[in-house]
Structure 1
């Protein structure tokens, strides 16, 4: 075990198949910070009602404190750590030791600019050409450098949902930084208050929500069955959880009472028809509601603190 995974299996002469267990550890989850029982987040009625009893309310100010601070253990321990100093050191050591040779980076300043530009895409669909143009590199180089960030566990790609009955679907993945504190540092948000009031508040909120659900599966040793769906008319369901032949749709909104979000789930109706039909399970809107409230017979307003 070590702080990065690039050389974990380097030099091992045997595959060790069947004789080794690999556990991927991301930053601390909200559930770990409040000492709540672990479990994959699947928005079934019984699961949500049980979570209400296990989870205290998470006000928006406390939520953005957590988003801005990030999930690194050192920043969430009892000892005092300077936020700027910590992430500055983290980025410098990451650039100078972990990535330089693997990514064939000749210009550290340009790679740092690339990191900052990539952070600006968190919670958004990825556009390699636009990202490359912003940093003045080629699209293949941008693609290669992003692969390094994914391998390092700094970035997660949420792939688009695919089904033969869904036409005109967008094929590009969405990009999420796995640590919102690092993304906030790279984009120079100096405090939780400025981030909460800033132009990227919704992107960071969505990033945090997706990360928490992603961690809920990873921490149980499961591959997260997550995707999203967006059509060419820009109608989007931010998160789909597919398990046991059932798809659970989730919208994500930085609002206390989002309205009309559930109507977007109608674009998924075709997947319940034909030979490869999937059931559409319960879902809802992950938002800043104070209580778990029913929207209709199948969907809920889900307080963000339940994640």
Structure 2
């Protein structure tokens, strides 16, 4: 199978080590963190030590981390660190010894989920978030949209193999990964919630409505969403509240971060299935949104959507250097300037407004609005 180097992530890690002695590489399981760590190790000029906390032998060693690590120098890689959150306390002691060493720790939980245990490393750790493949790293937007960006799904020899891999991933995530992160809940209930969520992709998240459908309460529904967000499975997009007289929607929107997993839960197995599915537009919106966010390197605190009670809306707002950039996503070759976009221009006064469509064309549709193909935007 072809191996695709994640050069952007490699460079982010190398820069992180210039800032702090510890780099936390976080992202969903099987997105390529271990492979990228090996690339960092190959380029490192000194000694490299590697520990995998899914290996029982390394788990046993880390019961006394100070004894094992304090005499080591060079690059120390610790994979699946979320299996031993108490290790962060020991890392602070080791870092403060000021010896010639760097720590690269890999985990499948978000910075927020690791926050309590990583607070002891404040000022000593830089987090780098790794995602599945994006358009800058591969050569087929259609395949990336259909199969998603997990390497073993995208690079599979056939659609059938890709589908089988994603089904296995979902099963393992629910039955093994969630318990390993300390969540005690029914895999069947979380699967039902996750599947229900697929039908809400791109819509306002209503915890009470989904909870009622599944026979669970509001708090449980909210808790399940928090779990999926903290394990990088979904993106919660918060609303932008403008200083205008119109009543605005204040609840978050929810998107799957990987289109391949969304398609698996919707029963979409190939591109032809996708083209005939009623969720095609919503699928494209979420897929294109993720590519734009990754291309612009926007953090989640800078990303919003805008919507009013009367139906005016804008799919994505990214704040950058004090400026507001607006994006609308249309699976169309001839998008029009809708009344909703006119209101967005008037009410929000963004610095730029872009309608993202499939392909690589680019042209103005209005003096303040351009149409741009997703490939064109991401690859230039």
TM-score by length of 2: 0.65
The aligned residue for residue 115 of structure 2 is none
> Do residues 17 (structure 1) and 122 (structure 2) align?
yes
2:200 pairs, out of 94, 108, 121, with: 121
> Is 1:104 aligned to 2:184, yes or no?
yes
Write the distance in 2 (CA, Å) between the matches of 1:223 and 1:170: 19
CA contact (8 A) 1:255 1:289 kept: no
Query: Which residue matches 1:287?
Result: 357
Match of 2:241 in 1: 162
Structure 1 equivalent of residue 302 of structure 2 = 225
Partners of 2:147 and 2:153 within 8 A in 1: yes
Specify whether residues 8 and 216 from structure 1 end up closer, same or farther in structure 2 by C-alpha distance, changes over 3 A only.
Answer: farther
Partners of 1:162 and 1:209 in 2: how far apart?
A: 23
Equivalence map 1:171-210=2 (5 Å): 171-210=250-289
- Structure 2 distance, partners of 1:240, 1:185, is 28
1:185 deviates by: 0.5
Q: Equivalent of 2:372, from 264, 285, 302?
A: 302
Contact 2:135 2:141 in 1 (8 A): no
Q: Aligned partners of 1:191 and 1:270: how far apart in 2? A: 40
Call closer, same or farther: CA 1:156–1:20 in 2, change over 3 Å.
same
User: Which has the larger share of helix?
Assistant: 2
Instruction: Say whether the 8 Å CA contact 1:166–1:271 is kept in structure 2.
Output: no
Judge conservation of contact 1:126–1:173 (CA < 8 Å) in 2. Answer: yes
- Cα contact 2:152–2:162 (8 A) shared by 1: no
Q: Distance in 1 between matches of 2:340 and 2:309?
A: 17
Tell me which residue corresponds to 2:20.
Answer: none
Following superposition, the deviation at residue 75 of structure 1 comes to: 2.2
> 1:249 aligns to what SS in structure 2?
strand
CA spacing shift, 1:249–1:97, aligned 2, 3 Å:
same
User: Aligned partners of 2:278 and 2:198: how far apart in 1?
Assistant: 14
Segment of structure 1 superposing worse, 253-262 or 136-145: 253-262
Counterpart position of 2:132 = 27
Whole-angstrom distance in 1 between the partners of 2:360 and 2:296: 25
Alignment check: 8 A CA contact 2:359 2:374 kept: yes
Aligned to 2:82: 7
- Equivalences, count: 270
Q: Which structure is richer in relative contact order (CA contacts within 8 A, separation 6 or more)?
A: 1
Gaps of 5+ in 2: 1-24, 30-79, 93-119
Q: Distance in 1 between matches of 2:171 and 2:347?
A: 49
1:92 equivalent in alignment to 2:171:
yes
CA offsets per residue over residues 186-245 of structure 1, 9 Å max, x none?
Answer: 111122111111100001000101111122244x8x556211100001111111121222
Name the structure 2 match of 1:260. Answer: 337
Partner secondary structure for residue 337 of structure 2: coil
Give 1:262 deviation, angstroms: 7.0
DSSP-derived class of the 1:295 partner: strand
For the pair shown, which has the larger CA radius of gyration, 1 or 2? 2
Distance 1:204 1:129, change over 3 A: same
Offset at residue 248 of structure 1 (A): 1.4
1:178 and 1:241 mapped to 2: Cα distance?
A: 17
Contact preservation (8 Å) 1:161, 1:229: yes
Q: Is the CA contact (8 Å cut-off) linking 1:102 and 1:148 kept in structure 2?
A: no
- For 1:124 and 1:9, locate their aligned partners in 2 and report how far apart those are by CA, in whole Å: 36
Q: Which runs of 5+ in 1 are unaligned?
A: 35-61, 273-279
